[in-house]
Structure 1
């Protein structure tokens, strides 16, 4: 059943998120302890600067969240049943960073850039209406212009390190990758709006600040476009995005 599969997928993605978080935090612990033994304070007064600039590189994994349609559920009761499920893919991000201090521990960050996201939906079973095969993968690989606007809360600086939390919104617009009008390819919307939140760790070095950051993005825009009356589109009624990104920030 579709509901059973959804619960299974949610469980699997939850395991992935926990595993990535553990690896991420373990990776942070070593630099934190080593910096704690350093008596010299790098970039003194940096955390009090009103305006900061930088750039970031990111590695992401992204997938669609499907809400199956009534016609899909009805076909599960027939001999011509099939399954349609989301598959995650790996992508990357390149962003600029502009940060403005609002208060001693609160900052606002604008992080415009481009992101490559790979997502897919696999169809298995009776696909005679769209293909001679019983297994089809619809890949949706896109380049997007992204404009995250985030609020950052920093903890007190301890010598050359400090933790922070970050949250905000991200509008994005596809600038390449989607081939519109082809009934043999899954069509999705070209703009998205996501809620983002994450955690990071600032490490101060003599000439720059390095901040590994793990962030989760949850899309709230329905990207489903019923452009054609076929199995690819009739399967779902809602299509949203989920993304986990590891950013390496340099300021």
Structure 2
């Protein structure tokens, strides 16, 4: 009896440990996707752009409430090396800001909503890690240009006529990180 119990436990131990010894290869989706020299795609996103004011009148206090906007655009991705790509991501960016003028007494005149639409053109370098199954993290950095369609930069009117002058051209840098997730028919790349 004792011998049969020991044999059962030894048998269970061998079955369980041999199950852990089996390496299960995961199915790699789109295994040659990153080998192509060019990729095309699109992006959807959210933004929150800051706003800087230059005051003509000293001691003027304006409070700004930034609201979340959205981005939509195209992606052109060119592979340079296995882990380095160049990206061009032209698109449109829209956001709204609310300005509160503390030196104006009437509620109607003390609040202004600014709606801006930009042509956003970033040129980025994407540094990717080696792919692990269907997962590939990356870092991204580069420069970008914004063209403000609603800038009124050359207008002679001012805030009294409810027209704001803003810069038409903006240059900036971008840095971020993300991950490429490979699925059966497509690659999904969330990033910050």
Q: Give the structure-1-normalised TM-score.
A: 0.59
Question: Could you say which structure has the larger radius of gyration?
Answer: 2
How far 1:67 moved relative to its partner? Answer: 6.1
Map 1:20-59 onto structure 2 (within 5 A): 39-59=26-46
1:91 is displaced (CA, Å) by 1.1
**1:204 CA displacement:** 0.2
Q: CA deviation at 1:197?
A: 0.8
Give unpaired runs (5+ residues) of structure 2: 1-23
Contact 1:63–1:120 (8 Å) recurs in 2: no
Q: Which of the numbers 130, 140, 145 marks the counterpart of 1:171?
A: 145
1:43-88: CA deviations, max 9, x gaps? Answer: 012122211110001111223144667x53xx4xxxxxx5212221
Deviations 1:221-245 (A, max 9, x none): xxxxxxxxxxxxxxxxxxxxxxxxx
CA contact (8 A) 1:199 1:213 kept: yes
Pair 52,139 (structure 1): closer, same or farther in 2 beyond 3 Å: same
Q: Does the 8 Å contact 1:59/1:93 carry over to 2?
A: yes
Q: Which residue of 1 aligns with 2:81?
A: 103
- 2:133 aligns to what SS in structure 1? coil
Q: State TM-score, norm by structure 2.
A: 0.76
Alpha-carbon contact 2:64-2:100 (below 8 Å) kept: yes
Q: CA RMSD in A?
A: 2.5
| Secondary structure at the counterpart of residue 190 of structure 2 | strand
Return closer, same or farther for 1:95/1:147 CA change in 2, 3 Å cut-off: same
Cα shift at 1:133: 4.3
Q: Report the CA distance between 1:99 and its aligned residue.
A: 0.4
Q: Deviations over 1:164-207 (max 9, x none)?
A: 11111111112247594442232211221111111111100111
